[in-house]
Structure 1
Amino acid sequence: MIGRLSQVLDAALGQLGRLGPLGPLEQVPIVVRSVEVLRRAGLVPVTRPDLVVRSVLAVRHLGPIAGAAQVAAARDHRAIGLVDELGELSYRQLDLRSNALARALADRGVGPGSVLALLARDHRGAVDTMLAAGKLGAKLLLMNTGFAGPQLADVAEREQVAAFIHDQEFTELAETLDLPRYLAWVDGHGTFPVETLDELITSTSDRPVPLPRTAGSLTLLTSGTTGTPKGAPRQIRSPLVAAQFLDRIPLRAGECTMLAAPLFHGTGLSQFILSFGLGSTVVLRRRFDPESTLKAIQDNRCTALVVVPTMLQRIVDLGPDVLDRYDTGSLRIIFCAGSALAPELGNRATEAFGPVIHNLYGSTEVAVASVATPADWAAAPGTVGRAPVGCRVAILDDDGARITEPGVTGRVFVASGLSFSGYSDGRTKEIVDGLLSTGDIGHFDEQGLLFIDGRDDDMIVSGGENVFPAEIEHLLVEFEGVTEAAVIGVPDETFGQRLRAFVVVRDRDAVSAEDLKTHVRANLARYKVPREVVFLDELPRNATGKVLRGELAEHP
């Protein structure tokens, strides 16, 4: 037992070693605090060291997804782990299904180190694949459901995919790949040109699978709003890194999470893993629908809702008449991440659901950077809060010197136990003093709360002045009748670039371009007033809700 507890500490220190130049003695308090956070959440019963060791070893051998599920099954295998459109599955059933699928895939050549790609919406087939990949020691690659053909082919070739699992709706895309293929979800009945996961599972033994010789890994893909998405591999070896989420987000064991954000995205995936580790129920739907989400929260008594801001926008836009039809009083947490949460939207959501907004700031590369609690949001709407245990955030100037004055904008750098170690093609982000660049610009206020002012590469230089679109966009959506806004710079012979705003309004006759310009002029400097305002029916977005500014730049 002593030897295994030593393994626990070694694994924890190994993950926390990513926090930059901290010595072992400086890391020990972080480990102690992390254990306390996990104890408070009920993730591991620290009074049972045997279960603590089992949890750590499960993650070390099977990875964060299959390891978390095994921990949950050991906690209570009868508990419901998953609810999707086909019904409920207990943790025991998930364990057996993934045993069978792992054996079937192994018989077809998938093994330790093989790259298994998944292009699927949120349902049991996607979860079966994730669990089976961990049990095989395979490298799981999560594909974006919004991919176009060339992106899919480029990523599959670069990542050396060995087998491809996809939903039936993506068959036309998948057929462009010369790879073994299997269907995760089919619409209707009949025969299909390739084997389905259900066929593999029902025709194969569900006996326990031997532990893989080497642990597998997980690769997330960047958003790919410009060009081919980059792969950001991760190999998580300690469950203590879960404290980075649980420190400031009060998830608790045995509850229920409505996961609206997609599993292929870091926001949805992180909360899926956490929920499994906590032995909670995860509610999934293949496609997001705002009213159906409210019904699922009501029917399953969900305590947490995981969304990206555009999803939250669509929910609150339903209005009081629809919102009041559903009992959402069980919600303690609305976990929002993936892109900027506008102050106006966060305030509307707070008015509709109460003080439950938890606004997380992170990225595919750094995972967690900071979290705003409901109290933080009430004090400073728009903030992304403070760094949780196991994370460090710094604002640096262009020379790499730390900015400590409140209100002064600079580049955001983060150290996190969940940070990646580089892209799969060998490139990485800029690192200064052990801190990884996020590519964002931000500042701290007088209370030490972090604000993100925009992307470094979104900065617009107009007439010699630096302009970040987020400030203008947030102001525009505060105007009565405006639901969405995006601001870009377009070439201008006199100013270098001029500001063009794209807005979506509820009633086109009720809002004019001059109304919006006057509103901005009354609140911001003159050079931040858009020269042009273009009205659209909707903003172009990718599958995770990020605005496709490149498409806006091509708008006539």
Structure 2
Amino acid sequence: MSKLGTIIESLSDAVGAVKVMSGSGAIDLSNPKRVIGMVKSNKLIGPTATVLAHKAIDIPDAPAVSDEHGTLTWAEFDAQVNMLGNAFLGAGLRPGSVVGIIARDHRAVPMALCAAGRSGVRLAMMNTGFGATQFAEVATREGVEAILYDEEFSELADTLPDDLLRIVTWTDGEQPIRADARTLDDIVAAGDPTPPPMPEAFGGMVILTSGTTGLPKGASRNKFAPFASALILDRIPLPRNGSMVIVSPIFHSTGFALWGVGLGLGNETVLMRRFDAEKTLAAIERHRSQALVAVPTMLHRMIALGPEVIGKYDLSSLETVVVAGSALSPTLCEEFQDAFGDVLYNLYGSTEVGVATVAQPAELRRAPGTIGKPPVTSHMALFDDDGRRITATNTKGRLFVRTGAPFEGYTDGRNKDFIDGYMSSGDMAYVDDDGLWFIAGRDDDMIVSGGENVYPLEVENLLAEHPHVDDVAVIGVDDDEYGTRLRAFIVLAEGAPEDPDALRAHVKANLARYKVPRDVVYIEELPRNPTGKLVRRLLPTGPLEA
């Protein structure tokens, strides 16, 4: 693209983003003085801490955060954020110090996000699925100087040096608390609620990638693009001064992003430490929540409750269900909307890319499984293996994305592949004649079997339609004759028989012969991380027992 074209595109994106954010209520252009003040504040304490301060003034008595301990109003939440920020500084942390947090979804997570901004420290969001070795390696790599953790993660926290500041964010009374650790409850019971001294610059944060193929990489967020919220609000209708149930982990980019946008809209955030399908429905009813944020495996469990259980709850307030984090199969897409109505929004993106596309309910009805269309400020491009642009429809290529929330690189100094300003998503994709985008699979998941290119995702989606199948994963394994062959791992539907020939026949009737899995392996449960992504490296690839 020419320099003039880039300028014109940037101006068009900015105008479109402002229009979206103004129309949704995320910014109020009628008060330019406040807008200018918030822009300045964002540079010093970050957007979430800035927005919180204004909500505590505008709607102090409205609910801000609800969890198993109850509900905090915006004024209460703001005061407790200040207490935690002052505790960081009082313990000797300095602006720029790195604080790690490993906690389930409850008030401490958004509190830590805002308190880090107010005190100028840098927050590293740790994955609750970590083992001890992973946790210690990531904490060392990120330079963690203090750790916030739920009691259940005490053994992980104990792998870190003894001189670190320790704050226990949730206690169950099942494990002893170290004598040198403080508790969040103690801090907010007797802390200083006045705002900490304004730092010279925003400390930033680190969100980890999913780590399905190795040690999770850290994605830096030292600043936030002013129009990043428009990527979500352009195609997803979120409530304003309403309520959102977020069961997608906030330590992951999807949960964090939707929480942040909801914060800006003045929404109550309803959190649960562990996902339970029926308790989620109960929370929607109790809080009259208009939005739910989840991952596909959670939707699957909600559907599995059946119409009798689902019908027990008044879900008439629910208008928007945002799903992201892993691939949404066409079958799950149709089943969910049949059970809960046309409220589903399929968000496609990643920690690095941000929000690339969103599929709206009508699009998912027309083309189940589509990832939809790019929102304002998102631009998509396909390239072949030689880096040549693909412009034809219904033609697979490597997907590259450019958005209004540019990637800042990994904390270990590495970066993603770029072509003409577009960043690699790591996926293969195509766009149809109606402008709807579809993911064909990961570009590194493609296998060559007998000289033919095969993407396991296509076979997975087809097997997911079979009535015998509750969950499925397909991978490539070594084969002496064909080089690589497909192996399907099947979680049986309740009451279904083990009938591998029926599954092979189903694939053979719908796809080419070389896409039929040679191996069909029945397992109790697929290995998935807390965000619902399949951890393929944990599936056995060696010879099967006879």
Q: One fold, TM greater than 0.5?
A: yes
1:114 deviates by: 0.7
* Cα distance per residue 1:221-248 (max 9 Å; x no partner): 1111222111000133444220110000
Query: What is the Cα deviation at residue 50 of structure 1?
Result: 2.3
| Residue of structure 2 aligned with 1:160, choices 143, 149, 152 | 143
Query: For 1:266 and 1:67, how far apart are their aligned partners in 2?
Result: 20
Give runs of aligned pairs for residues 32-71 of structure 1, distance below 5 A: 32-71=15-54
CA displacement 1:474-527 (0-9 Å, x = unmatched): 111101131111001111100001111001112365351011000000000000
Equivalent residue, structure 2, for 1:525:
512
Separation in structure 1 between the aligned mates of residue 501 and residue 93 of structure 2, nearest angstrom: 61
Helix, strand or coil at the partner of 1:166: strand
Q: Does structure 1 residue 28 correspond to structure 2 residue 15? A: no
Larger deviation: 209-218 or 53-62?
Answer: 53-62
Offset, 1:56: 2.5
Tell me the alpha carbon deviations over residues 292-345 of structure 1, each in whole angstroms, 9 at most, x when there is no partner: 000000100111100011111111111111111111111111100011000010
TM-score (norm 2): 0.96
Alignment RMSD: 1.7
User: Would you say how many aligned residue pairs link Structure 1 and Structure 2?
Assistant: 538
Deviation at 1:269, TM superposition (A): 0.6
Matched, 1:247 2:230: no
Which of 185, 190, 203 in structure 2 is aligned with 1:198? 185
Alignment partner of 1:366 out of 353, 364, 375? 353
Unmatched segments (≥5 aa) in structure 2: none
Q: Equivalent of 2:479, from 472, 484, 492?
A: 492
2:167 is matched with 182
- Local SS of the residue matching 1:116: strand
User: CA distance change for structure 1 residues 284 and 336 in 2, over 3 Å: closer, same or farther?
Assistant: same
Q: Give aligned-pair identity as a percent.
A: 46
Alpha-carbon distance in structure 2 between the residues aligned to 1:309 and 1:380: 17
**What TM-score, normalized by structure 1, do the two folds share?**
0.94
Is the Cα contact below 8 Å between 1:501 and 1:534 reproduced in 2?
Answer: yes
CA contact (8 A) 2:151 2:175 kept: no
Q: Hey, what's the Cα distance between the residues in 2 that align with 1:190 and 1:517?
A: 50
1:473 alignment counterpart: 460
Shift of 1:65: 2.5
Matches within 5 A, 1:113-152: 113-152=96-135
Residue equivalent to 1:108: 91
Indicate conservation of the 8 Å contact 1:100/1:202, yes or no: no
Call closer, same or farther: CA 1:98–1:21 in 2, change over 3 Å: farther
Is contact 1:267-1:337 (8 Å) kept?
yes
Cα gap change, 1:252 to 1:39, in 2 (>3 Å)? farther
CA distances 1:248-272 after superposition (whole Å, capped 9, x unpaired): 0011321111001011011111111
1:296 corresponds to 2:279: no
User: How far apart, in 2, do the equivalents of 1:22 and 1:413 lie?
Assistant: 19
Cα distance, 1:172–1:523 mapped onto 2, change above 3 Å: same
**AA partner of residue 485 (structure 1):** V
Name the stretch that deviates more: 43-52 or 291-300: 43-52
Deviation at 1:22, TM superposition (A): 5.7
Contact 1:82 1:124 in 2 (8 A): yes
Tell me the secondary structure at the aligned position of residue 458 of structure 1. coil
Which blocks of at least 5 consecutive residues in structure 1 are unaligned?
1-18
Report what 1:276 is aligned to.
263
Contact 1:65 1:130 in 2 (8 A): yes
**Contact 1:20–1:434, Cα closer than 8 Å, also in 2:** no
Aligned residue among 390, 393, 408 for 2:380? 393
Which of these residues, 44, 55, 60, is aligned with residue 77 of structure 1? 60
- Kindly state the Cα deviation for residue 554 of structure 1 after the two structures are TM-superposed: 4.5
How far residue 73 of structure 1 moved from its aligned partner, in angstroms, is 2.3
Q: Flag the 1:155–1:22 CA change in 2: closer, same or farther, 3 A.
A: farther
AA aligned opposite 1:344: T
SS of residue in 2 equivalent to 1:439 = strand
**Aligned partner (choices 318, 328, 332) of residue 319 of structure 2:** 332
Q: Is residue 540 of structure 1 aligned with residue 527 of structure 2?
A: yes
The counterpart of 1:346, out of the listed 329, 333, 338, is 333
Q: Secondary structure at the match of 1:162?
A: strand
Asked which structure has the greater RCO (Cα within 8 Å, sep 6+), the reply is 1
